[in-house]
């Protein structure tokens, strides 16, 4: 995700904290500003989650999704 202003970041943090599926939210360096860990049952649920939640959060300019298939080592 890319967020371009401090007020937008504050609003994003407030809005995301209210979403039940969001387990973690990390402010990052590098190519991504923010990484969310989201837990949903399957891809169709993820699609509904995106449309009903993240696509409505003001200030998000770009999103990229990655999925964990399995944990190999802990």
Distance CA 44, CA 9 (A): 28
Q: In this predicted structure, what is the pLDDT of residue 11?
A: 86
Q: In this predicted structure, what is the pLDDT of residue 60?
A: 77
Sort 26 into a burial class: Cβ within 10 Å, 0-12 / 13-18 / 19+: exposed
Q: In this predicted structure, what is the pLDDT of residue 32?
A: 67
Q: In this predicted structure, what is the pLDDT of residue 7?
A: 84
pLDDT along the chain (74 residues), means of 10: 76 91 90 86 94 86 86 92
Q: In this predicted structure, what is the pLDDT of residue 1?
A: 61
């Amino acid at each position: 995700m890319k967020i371009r202003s401090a007020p937008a970041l504050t609003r994003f943090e407030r809005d995301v904290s209210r979403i039940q599926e969001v387990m973690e939210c990390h402010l990052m360096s590098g190519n991504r500003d923010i990484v969310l860990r989201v837990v949903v049952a399957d891809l169709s649920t993820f699609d509904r989650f995106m449309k009903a939640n993240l696509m409505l959060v003001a200030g998000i300019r770009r999103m990229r999704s990655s999925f964990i298939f399995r944990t190999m080592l802990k």
